[in-house]
Amino acid sequence: MEIWINPACSKCRSALSLLDEEGVTYTVRRYLEDVPSPDEIRAVLDRLGLEPWDITRTQEAAAKELDLKDRARWPRDASGREAWIEALAAHPKLIQRPIITAEDGTAVVGRSEEAVRDAMSR
């Protein structure tokens, strides 16, 4: 199990605390320092069953600078998918967190205790 975190994020710290309380073995990836490649983002999206815009933090300054809410420039369909992935790789702060990859090959965005427990049960 791997968890992508930003140490400054309270949801990430809560997820780590829960994993520790339950004695789960995991690897921490500080994704702002160890930035995922576009291929790694594609792989985690496949595991999540989500699209890049589904895991994008649209309130971040970089999202506003890129004007990600402009659907003409940033279509939320197959034609825009690669541009979104490239934006996440270039601006990792845009990636929702924490992301937990489960042992069964799936992944979850662990923003709630229920989501973290779901990942632990897989």
Query: Taking the C-alpha atoms of 120, 96, 74 and 91 in order, what is their torsion angle to the nearest 10 degrees?
Result: -120
Residue 9 is among the residues annotated as catalytic for this protein: yes
Which of 98, 82, 70 is closest to 6 using CA atoms? 98
Q: Please pick, among 1, 9, 24, 102, the residue that the annotation labels catalytic.
A: 9
Neighbours of 116 (CB within 10 A): 25
Task: Give the residue numbers annotated as catalytic, written as ranges.
Answer: 9
